[in-house]
Amino acid sequence: MKSNSYDVAIIGAGISGLIAGNYLAQAGLKVFIAEQHYAVGGCCSYFKRDGFTFECGAHSLGSCRKPDGYLYKIFNELGIYDELGVKRARCSDTVISSKYKINFYGNTNEMAESLSREFVNEKDQIYSFFKELEGFGAKSFLNYYSRYRHISFDAVLSKYFQNKELKQILSFFLGNVGVPSDRVSAVTALALYREFVADGGYYVDGGMKKLGDVLKKKLEDNGGVISLRDRATQIFIQNGRVVGIETERCGAIPSRYVISTAGIKQTFIRLLNEEMLPIEFIRKVKQSIPSVSAVILYLGLTGRMIDPQDWGRTVWYMPNLDPDNFHRKVFAGDCNEHIDAMILAFPSKYDHSLTPAQCESLMCIINAPYKNDAYWLSKKEEFKQAMLKRTAEVLPSIKDRIRVSEIATPPTIARFTLNDAGAIYGLACTSDQINANFMPSKTPVENLFLSSHWTTQGYGQAGIPVVALGARQAAHSIKKKLIKVVN
């Protein structure tokens, strides 16, 4: 590739890099994206084994409601909504413990109804809780933000409910951020509920692979360039202002703006010279706490036995019904070979193109702390067997049907995405780390912007919808600045 100069160079072609790049290319700007992996998508990528296509991480989407879901708006603005063929599972989530099996349907009324059937005495409170959730939205955000910013989700649950088991069931979904209910910000949890649970269960027809592929093609159609297997090694600064990046394959890429979607420690400590940055800022970067990581077991199975009517797009299995204890341990760095909590997803039951004929695939995810390669090498098989045993408790036929199995550990995630500590959700959403000013898109370096699950917009992270929204905002900030310059 010949050396060229760009309006914007973006580090990383995960969902945030692709969305930001698309907005900028759509506006006629020259965009270059460096991606170290062989495929786009980051945590939302895929791999193939023996005829099976496995989704590496993200398997379900939220916030696609018309007309105001974040993702619906973004896909629509980028002109890819129809092409993606976004579909929705009737039941978004199923919660299973040894005592309960509750299906959550994608709206607050039906969710309140499902829960009220199990907890009759709390019915009025359940409806009040979901009513409060419904009020939380773009227009009321500042109101909620100032009210709940310093309050934990546990405090909100305790305001409504006495019943411990009900509170535990409502804390199951915090597996999506990996922080216990007494440490997660209420704002994060309410945003998670609104955008990912009450408006969840969406998927892309053809698998999540298609999301990255469609975004890549659209960017290229608009003149953008994506350089794969090309790691960014440096961000160049002159007179306090960003002037480009260096990548392994392309060398120096001059650009007027840079967006980094890499982790904040990588961006400010390894790609930049930290001495150029304010001491207080670097201290904050160094002290920031990453989210949990995960162990993921991918199974290719012979036969099609999983009933699409029975379970939601995502199944939360927690036999002992104690999510807080589990999240607390993992967040504190304890490994849990007893597999007290596991997420199961079955992308192929919605889309048979992901497996060979008469086969199906299954993804088992447990949140896990980051430990080094040597640790996971010695523990991998133990975890795999423990996860299989747990899975067999809800799907007894599983062991005799395994045709393909692969396991990813926290170092695998770190290697493929370069996220510090293999963090699957970027910054941990503790109350002190969700403040919009904690790690905003605008950085102390002129014309260097951030956009990823390592930035904060006040919500904390709730997966792809919030990441995409941040990318849209970063792109808009740059467009506004460039337009000002032209005028």
Ligand X SMILES: Cc1cc2nc3c(=O)[nH]c(=O)nc-3n(C[C@H](O)[C@H](O)[C@H](O)COP(=O)(O)OP(=O)(O)OC[C@H]3O[C@@H](n4cnc5c(N)ncnc54)[C@H](O)[C@@H]3O)c2cc1C
- For ligand X, which residue of 211, 294, 368, 421 counts as binding (CB under 6 A)? 294
**Shortest distance (Å) from residue 231 CB to ligand X:** 4
User: Is 255 an interacting residue with respect to ligand X (CB under 6 A)?
Assistant: no
Counting contacts by CB under 6 A, is residue 464 touching ligand X?
yes
Q: Rounded CA gap, 277 and 268, in Å?
A: 8
* From candidates 16, 255, 288, 447, binder to ligand X by CB under 6 A: 16
Report the C-alpha gap between 356 and 364 in whole angstroms: 20
User: Is the preceding peptide bond at 254 cis, omega within 30 degrees of 0?
Assistant: no
> Which of 73, 194, 210, 453 is in the footprint of ligand X by CB under 6 A?
453
How far apart, in whole angstroms, are the C-alpha atoms of residue 87 and residue 84?
Answer: 9
Name the token pair of 176: 């999506």
84 belongs to the binding site for ligand X (CB under 6 A): no
* Interface with ligand X in residues 385-444 (CB under 6 A): 413, 417-419, 424-425
Count of chain residues binding ligand X (CB under 6 A): 38
**Side chain identity at 418, as an amino acid letter?**
L
Contact 84, 217 (CB under 8 A): no
The nearer residue to ligand X, 125 or 477, going by C-beta atoms, is 477
Closest approach of Cβ 293 to ligand X, in Å? 8
Tokens of 140: 């009321």
Contacts (CB under 6 A) with ligand X, residues 296-335 = 296
* Two tokens, residue 281: 């800022």
Report d(CA 481, CA 235) in Å as an integer: 20
Q: In terms of CB distance, is 151 or 269 closer to ligand X?
A: 269
Q: Residue 284, interface with ligand X (CB under 6 A)?
A: no
When binding is defined by CB under 6 A, the residue of 59, 65, 73, 194 that contacts ligand X is: 59
35 binds ligand X (CB under 6 A): yes
| Measured CA distances, 285 to 188, 259, 317, 362, 367 (Å) | 21, 17, 35, 37, 23
Nearest Cα to Cα of residue 347 among 312, 318, 397, 394: 312
Q: Is 253 in the site for ligand X (CB under 6 A)?
A: no
Question: Quick check: 157 binds ligand X (CB under 6 A)?
Answer: no
CB contact at 8 A, 58 and 44: yes
Residue 24 binds ligand X, judged by CB under 6 A: no
Give the residues lining the site for ligand X (CB under 6 A).
11-17, 34-37, 42-44, 57-61, 231-232, 261-262, 266, 294, 296, 365, 413, 417-419, 424-425, 452-453, 463-464, 467
